[in-house]
Amino acid sequence: MPKRTDIQSIMVIGSGPIVIGQACEFDYSGTQACRVLRAEGFRVILVNSNPATIMTDPEFADATYVEPITPEFVEKIIAKERPDALLPTLGGQTALNTAIALHEAGVLAAYGVELIGADVDAIQAGENRERFKEIVAKVAAERGLNAESARSVVCHTMDECLAAAGGLGYPLVVRPSFTMGGVGSGFAHDEDGLRRIAGAGLDASPTTEVLLEESILGWKEYELEVMRDRADNVVIVCSIENIDPMGVHTGDSVTVAPALTLTDREYQNMRDVAIAVIREVGVDTGGCNIQFAVDPKTGRMVVIEMNPRVSRSSALASKATGFPIAKIAAKLAVGYTLDEIPNDITRETPASFEPTLDYIVVKVPRFAFEKFAGADHTLTTHMKSVGEAMAIGRSFPEALQKALRSLEKKGAPFSWTGEPAGKDELLAACRTPHDGRLTTMQQAIRAGATAAELFEATAVDPWFIDQLMAIDEVAAELREAPQLDAAALTRAKRYGFSDAQIAGIRGMDEARVRDLRHALGVRPVYNTVDTCAAEFAARTPYLYSTYDEETEVPYGDRPKVLILGSGPNRIGQGIEFDYACVHASFELSRAGYETVMVNCNPETVSTDYDTSDRLYFEPLTLEDVLEVVHAEQQTGPVAGVIVQLGGQTPLGLAQALKDAGVPIVGTSPESIHLAEERGAFGRVLAAAGLPAPKHGTAATEAEALGIAAEIGYPVLVRPSYVLGGAGMAIVYDDATLVTYMARAGAASDHPVLVDKFLDEAVEIDVDALFDGEELYLGGVMEHIEEAGIHSGDSACSLPPMTLGGFDIKRIRAATEAIARGVGVRGLLNVQYAMSAGVLYVLEANPRASRTVPFVSKATAVPLAKAAARVMMGATVAQLRAEGMLPASGDGGTMPLDAPIAVKEAVLPFNRFRGVDTILGPEMRSTGEVMGVDAFFGTAYAKSQAAAYGSLPTKGRAFVSVANRDKRAMIFPVKALADLGFEILATEGTAEVLRRNGVHAKIVRKQSDGTGPDGEPTIGRRILDGEVDLIVNTPFGSPGQAGPRLDGYEIRTAAVLRGVPCITTVQGLAAAVQGIQAIVRGDIGVRSLQEHAHRLRG
Amino acid sequence: MSERSERTGGRAADDGGAGTAVLVLEDGRVFHGTPYGARGETFGEMVFNTGMTGYQETLTDPSYHRQIVAMTAPHIGNTGVNDDDPESSRVWVAGYVVREPARVHSSWRATRSLDDYLADSGVVGIAIPGTRALTRHLRERGAMRAGIFSGGALAPAEELLERVRLSPPMEGADLVGQVSTAEPYVIPAVGERKYTVAAVDLGIKSMTPHRMAERGCEVHVLPATATAADILALDPDGVFFSNGPGDPATADGPVEALRGVLDAGRPFFGICFGNQIFGRALGLGTYKLRYGHRGVNQPVQDRRTGKVEISAHNHGFAVRAPLDGPFDTPYGPAEVSHVNLNDDCVEGLRLVGRPAFSVQYHPEAAAGPHDSAGLFDRFCALMERSRGRASGVAGEGRAVRAASEEPGATTDTGENESA
């Protein structure tokens, strides 16, 4: 069936900000979809609030709306654009939920919008646990398939529970019905446990009902990625096996593709069930996944769940196989069938086939527990990882070891240096799933644990455990080899050992191992990911390294530019850097270079095989990058390597690459160092006459106290050599400083930097472009929160809402002086603090920053593309002449009627219960949104709606602020009262408000406890849903009782209940403007293309 | 019996599984590796299989007789060997090439390791890093003869190459007689017996009669030497010709037998080698593919419904037939019913006016996906209708024609039997 001709315009919904469980994989899928739909001639209307995405680049859609993904806003866009169809399956759960809400509200019907690629009934059947169970049972009965769901019984009395337990066996999962957030559920391992947990559960359940379900903890876990077209052709794109057995969320599991421990009969049964279930569910067209658990003792197979849409696993499966699921899902949605779509990679065979792999893919999750003190590190069915790395090898050990080093995390790769901990201790640690459990298992093997002991402790399949043992045996061989010859090195390499690991085992220097290896001619070859195990020739060069026989790197004569990506997403280094890399690739390819991308993050657009002329799916370590450079140099001229766009990861390799003779283009490694090294940077500032906050470097507690005494409190303290503000704190007194120094000393050997903290300063972020002569000021962003909150967590506005032309002029001059002094060629990000009229320089980063995509969208200038060109030698003047940059002016000279863009950070506190939600100098946000409108208040309201759901316009506001904020809060709280909010406040805050004419009702603090007549505390009121807006600025010392703890409990309740919680007084002022804008009811929607037209004509 | 000229019957005790082995291709390319399975030497046609599961079924598939099979999936042996999955009573491959043999196996059904199984079966294998390089080589140069050497069979490379070049080629090889059953046997129907099927064993896999038995067929498996008279003597409701090894151009006996069956108007279904025999019986030629189809991910399109089945393949030869429409045969018009979407290879044939059809691939799917299982239902439907029509009608040929012109019964895949 060919393309549908009855629809002309299609709306695509993205997934909004990056959050845990919904990350840039949906940018990847959405970008693919938009490209396909436009190429097919459809008018594409895109909605996504996340400015850091590639998909929201104006060139990927005809109308791009960076607006909140809420039914209200999407309806406005539908009313304006009148699309014929809506494709909701490529933007994660966010897009699907929004589409369903629009359907249920009758909006789609009212505007005649057809839902394509999805069927509402199918979505509901797939997502409703009970209906899904019925479908599995029906399929099993009608088609004679070996399929079932986990067995369960609904019970209303303890006698029923005990009887049910007799049938189901222990352990059992107890789930009380209708309790919030899974309260009262748990595992019962015996009758005593059942009586206890089910007893409490029956009490907790408003319907005196509990569900008892057999436990499938420890079972093998699998996933199939399925595609179906409207002619009912179905293919399985990929099978994925979780190495961590049932009990750990797939997103947090180490996974491998293809499945490695199933016979064909079991695999085909799984395949039959998957196909039968999606047919029965009625998935219309497109991709979906379905998960299974298999009892390792009996082979009994249970269907767990399905997702009727493209998912994180789809992105992984696409990268693992070369089968572009999202792209093909988009084509299927507009009417094509699988046999009508060519396989991109072979170009000669159709998409109606199942990829076969002659390599192994391993995915490992990356966590950020260090950012969330107090969070539970145990891995459960609630996803906690913030990113992932994928690696490809010709064997499982090779892929696994490459994946572990792709994580770029100390301690993640297996290590054979030092003494392992005790066997019993390590085995005990293995029992609880945790970040790095495989590494703990490897250490246990070193400590003498047997395969049987490890299996008993982890339930990881014995085949995988044996692979770990094999790796350990190769390490032992390596240690005992009389000399490191070609055979020993090749064997180690085939098991994935890095030069660094070999060096550790042999007690040598890594560089020495590399020299020796090169001298012996032991180098990797690069194989193609070709979907077909070499059965057909591949046209798309998507490569991975392995120590095999033949290399498949094609020859080329265009000058090549290598772009190093940013590796796994983590807090502080995410999609924004991928954005810059992808832009550089697009632009340099257009400019005649052959672009070569190196990255290991399967979620990204950069690792889509058609983003660059060639893709290497490789770890971003010095060794792996040097080998790629070598391979490319063997097949043509390499013009340069770009390290300044992928964040700290490639930047950290810059000097070593240069030392190894690799041509680094753009800002030189020496210049990068100049900006990062304090002393040198201080001299640059001094030469330019720019002030910086007073500071010092302390190695000891005494030194720290001395510096603090000299420069005065408050001080900002942080360990040197950090990323994303890790370990930063603002300290107000000696006692806290002493505590901090004790902790810092224990954590690292590096000295601590002590800076004067500029209280009540306005923080400013600048992104600029410098070609050696001319500075192009990309954008000036004013933070909404005060200085001291990490720029990544702070909301900001562009143009700056309170800075005047004179300030901008000063900022431009300072930025240019720094760019010149440091020697920047390309992008530069500078952070300033404006305090009492003085512009202080906080830091400068001569690289792409997190804000580049936001600035590009807010000013309608493709900064990253321009930067890539400057790095390759173009001048700002040239780019102005080409029209890439405006002919005159820059981001500092925006017209007065320019729209205001507000960026807001999105924080993952709901994933880490028990973690305090206040903002500080350490970055903790996972993503961002942008709100854009003619005025600040409206733009801010949009940013809040996009990040957290709409601001309330009526109801109760609770206010409790620190003394220093009391003056500043009066005016905005009064405005809230005028808008009709009932104001609740704690005693101190209420007094101030009352004296200023705001009626505030006093409520009990947490520490007051419930009142004599049962008056609830504020925490209780929040949990009971009585409060609609919370304003709570923190005070007191962390970890101590009193006001700080009160605030903590308030904020925790706010997170549990999902109530907007503002923790700075500046944020409050902005929110009030936003609420006023909503109440006025004049919030419209406008596409980026319309904004660009206004800005650039 | 097997073509292996030396069989050690097990692993050499002295090298404990290590040591060296070498794979030598007819064109002189050599791959070094370690021995796997039995030590010694073996010769055969070098082919690759791209399935990621199902090595046990592959090893025991008689169609691989006299072929050395390289697996493109790197890890082989992970699930060991069990008693349920063999497709025949023995291992048929002449040699086995893998990349990463499993050191331990893990499956609740496994009874022993693949390594031991191969050694006990006397199958000489080799583990080499370059299975992908080998596959690419075969893709570019085509399937060719090869030999695996280990243990006492090792010798200088030129000598090994000479031995490979002396081994018999696959083209022109008549192997059916070597794999077929010597005596007829019967697979009873599961449940009520609805049909009697005469199945000519040209190298039949055990799943095939099982799939028919599941549908109520009592399957009489006959030796490859069965004549039309032998077959018709059973008065079967339908006749089946199985898969098998070797060059179909040599299989004159089965072609003759099939012509007799078609003359008698009995419903016919053939798969793989059986498809090639059917093609020849219709007067079509066969040819050798450059490197064949061996795997479980091949897209085959049913040209009438447009539906695509992901199917299991194992064939080095194919039928040459016009793709652009029906063509004439001694049995009336015929057409290509199925094509491979990868290379437009003929994957199925049917007579337009008679109850006879065949496919080049494996609907019994062991190993492989079950998408094509409906073909067995189609066969049963043909038998049902033929039988219904045949009773009480004098001229058998006429009856058959009438049967085919009838709007067909709908099979469970929703396909309509009528042209």
b/e burial code for range A1010-1025 (CB count within 10 A of at least 16 → b): eeeeeeebbbebbbee
Chain A residues near residue B73 by CB distance under 8 angstroms: 258, 356-358, 533
Q: Do B108 and A494 touch (CB under 8 A)?
A: no
B interface mutation test: which of A225, A361, A463 has the most B CBs within 10 A? A463
Among A283, A161, A294, A173, smallest CA distance to A223 is for A294
CB contact, 8 Å: A235 with chain B?
yes
Contact at 8 Å (CB) between A992 and A1029? no
Closest partner residue to B72 (CB to CB) among A338, A534, A550 is A534
List the structure tokens of B282.
């219709």
Question: Which amino acid is present at B164?
Answer: V
Q: Do A356 and B82 touch (CB under 8 A)?
A: no
* A18 backbone dihedrals φ, ψ, rounded to 5°: -70, 125
Distance from the B233 Cα atom to the nearest Cα atom in chain A, whole angstroms: 36
Q: What mean pLDDT value characterizes chain A?
A: 91
Identify whether B168 is preceded by a cis peptide bond (ω within 30 of 0). no
Sequence-distant (≥ 6) Cβ neighbours of residue A871 within 8 angstroms: A584, A640, A642, A644, A665, A666, A667, A825, A826
Nearest CA in chain A to B137: A534
When pLDDT is cut at 50, 70 and 90, the band that residue A1020 belongs to is confident
Question: Which amino acid is present at A83?
Answer: P
Whether B57 is catalytic? no
Q: Do B297 and A268 touch (CB under 8 A)?
A: no
Contact at 8 Å (CB) between A545 and A624? yes
DSSP 8-state class, residue A369: G
Closest partner residue to A463 (CB to CB) among B50, B102, B130 is B102
CB contact, 8 Å: B56 with chain A?
yes
Neighbours of A843 (CB within 10 A): 15
When pLDDT is cut at 50, 70 and 90, the band that residue A1008 belongs to is confident
Among B217, B272, B345, B380, the one annotated catalytic: B272
Sequence-distant (≥ 6) Cβ neighbours of residue A687 within 8 angstroms: A821
pLDDT at position A239: 97
Contact at 8 Å (CB) between A563 and A585? yes
When pLDDT is cut at 50, 70 and 90, the band that residue A372 belongs to is confident
- Give A178-233 pLDDT, tens digit per residue: 765 556 778 888 999 999 888 888 887 778 888 899 999 999 999 999 999 999 99
CB contact, 8 Å: A2 with chain B?
no
In chain A, pLDDT over 70 holds for what percent of residues? 96
Q: Do B108 and A296 touch (CB under 8 A)?
A: yes
Contact at 8 Å (CB) between A448 and A434? no
Contact at 8 Å (CB) between A319 and A32? no
Is the entire prediction scored with pTM above 0.80?
A: yes
Among A345, A359, A389, A363, smallest CA distance to A546 is for A359
Contact at 8 Å (CB) between A533 and B72? yes
CA B67, distance to chain mean position in Å, is: 12
CB < 8 Å from B in window 246-265 of A = 258, 260-265
**Cα–Cα distance between A315 and A321 in angstroms, integer?**
10
Q: ipTM for the complex?
A: 0.91
Give the three-state DSSP class for B290. strand
Q: Do B85 and A263 touch (CB under 8 A)?
A: yes
pLDDT at position A914: 64
List the structure tokens of B309.
């089945």
**Cα–Cα distance between B245 and B248 in angstroms, integer?**
8
CA dihedral A3, A4, A9, A15 (to 10 degrees): -70
List the structure tokens of A962.
């620190």
- Give B376-387 pLDDT, tens digit per residue: 999 999 999 998
**Cα–Cα distance between A16 and A22 in angstroms, integer?**
9
List the structure tokens of B102.
């499993």
b/e burial code for range A735-773 (CB count within 10 A of at least 16 → b): ebbebbbeebeeeeeebbbbbbbbeebbbbbbbbbbbee
CB < 8 Å from A in window 316-345 of B = 341-343
Chain A residues near residue B78 by CB distance under 8 angstroms: 260-261, 463
Sequence-ordered strand ranges (E) for A542-665 = 542-546, 560-564, 594-599, 614-617, 638-642
Residue A554: Cβ-neighbour burial (10 angstroms; 0-12, 13-18, 19+):
middle
Nearest CA in chain B to A349: B342
CB contact, 8 Å: B354 with chain A?
no
Contact at 8 Å (CB) between A591 and A571? no
Contact at 8 Å (CB) between B346 and B323? yes
Chain B residues near residue A348 by CB distance under 8 angstroms: 342
Taking residues A358-366, report their average pLDDT.
Answer: 98
Closest partner residue to B107 (CB to CB) among A236, A263, A549 is A263
Contact at 8 Å (CB) between A145 and A275? no
Whether B345 is catalytic? no
**Cα–Cα distance between B109 and A261 in angstroms, integer?**
12
DSSP 8-state class, residue A373: T
CA A268, distance to chain mean position in Å, is: 34
Residue B46: Cβ-neighbour burial (10 angstroms; 0-12, 13-18, 19+):
buried
User: Domains of chain B, with CATH numbers?
Assistant: 5-166 (3.50.30.20), 176-404 (3.40.50.880)
Taking residues A130-151, report their average pLDDT.
Answer: 90
Question: Which amino acid is present at A540?
Answer: T
Contact at 8 Å (CB) between A926 and A603? no
pLDDT at position A1035: 61
A591: left (phi over 0), alpha (psi -120 to 50) or beta: alpha
Distances in Å between the alpha carbon of B7 and those of A56, A299, A539, B25? Answer: 66, 36, 43, 20
Query: Would you give the end-to-end CA distance of chain A in angstroms?
Result: 42
pLDDT at position A1: 66
DSSP A395-406: SHHHHHHHHHHH
Beta bridge partners, A755, equal A695, A716
Question: Which amino acid is present at A1062?
Answer: I
CB < 8 Å from B in window 850-889 of A = none
Distances in Å between the alpha carbon of A1045 and those of A918, A983, A1042? Answer: 12, 22, 6
Chain B residues near residue A551 by CB distance under 8 angstroms: none
Among A618, A256, A220, A250, smallest CA distance to A467 is for A256
pLDDT at position A1044: 52
Q: Do A263 and B370 touch (CB under 8 A)?
A: no
Task: Scan for tokens 């079967």, then name that residue.
Answer: B236
DSSP 8-state class, residue A945: H
**Cα–Cα distance between A661 and A843 in angstroms, integer?**
29
CB contact, 8 Å: B17 with chain A?
no
CB contact, 8 Å: A473 with chain B?
no
Question: How would you write the pLDDT of chain B (419 residues) with one tens digit per residue?
Answer: 333 333 333 333 334 345 899 999 999 999 999 999 999 999 999 999 999 999 999 999 999 999 999 999 999 999 999 999 999 999 999 999 999 999 999 999 999 999 999 999 999 999 999 999 999 999 999 999 999 999 999 999 999 999 999 999 988 889 999 999 999 999 999 999 999 999 999 999 999 999 999 999 999 999 999 999 999 999 999 999 999 999 999 999 999 999 999 999 999 999 999 999 999 999 999 999 999 999 999 999 999 999 999 999 999 999 999 999 999 999 999 999 999 999 999 999 999 999 999 999 999 999 999 999 999 999 999 999 998 765 544 434 433 433 343 333 333 333 333 33
* B65 backbone dihedrals φ, ψ, rounded to 5°: -55, 130
Task: Scan for tokens 């140069």, then name that residue.
Answer: B141
Whether B362 is catalytic? yes
CB < 8 Å from B in window 491-530 of A = 494, 527
- Give A721-780 pLDDT, tens digit per residue: 655 566 778 888 898 899 888 877 666 667 888 988 887 788 999 999 999 999 999 999
Closest partner residue to B307 (CB to CB) among A233, A267, A298 is A233
b/e burial code for range B342-369 (CB count within 10 A of at least 16 → b): beebbbbbbbbbbbbbbbbbbbbbbbbb
Closest partner residue to A264 (CB to CB) among B129, B299, B367 is B367
Chain B residues near residue A350 by CB distance under 8 angstroms: 299, 308, 341-342
CB contact, 8 Å: B127 with chain A?
no
Beta bridge partners, B362, equal B312
DSSP A759-807: TTPEEEEEEEEE-SS-EEEEEEEEESSPTTS-TTTS-EEES-SS--HHH
CB < 8 Å from B in window 394-433 of A = 394-396
CB-defined contacts A:B, below 8 A? 172
CB contact, 8 Å: B370 with chain A?
yes
* Total residues found in chain A within this entry: 1097
Closest partner residue to A360 (CB to CB) among B31, B74, B297 is B74
Question: Which amino acid is present at B225?
Answer: T
**Cα–Cα distance between B257 and A609 in angstroms, integer?**
53
pLDDT at position B418: 37
Question: Which amino acid is present at B206?
Answer: S
Q: Do B106 and A261 touch (CB under 8 A)?
A: yes
Beta bridge partners, B112, equal B81
List the structure tokens of A1034.
């923190």
pLDDT at position A175: 83
Sequence-distant (≥ 6) Cβ neighbours of residue A815 within 8 angstroms: A766, A768, A775, A777, A828, A830
Give the three-state DSSP class for A329. helix
- Give B207-256 pLDDT, tens digit per residue: 999 999 999 999 999 999 999 999 999 999 999 999 999 999 999 999 99
Among A533, A517, A528, smallest CA distance to A551 is for A528
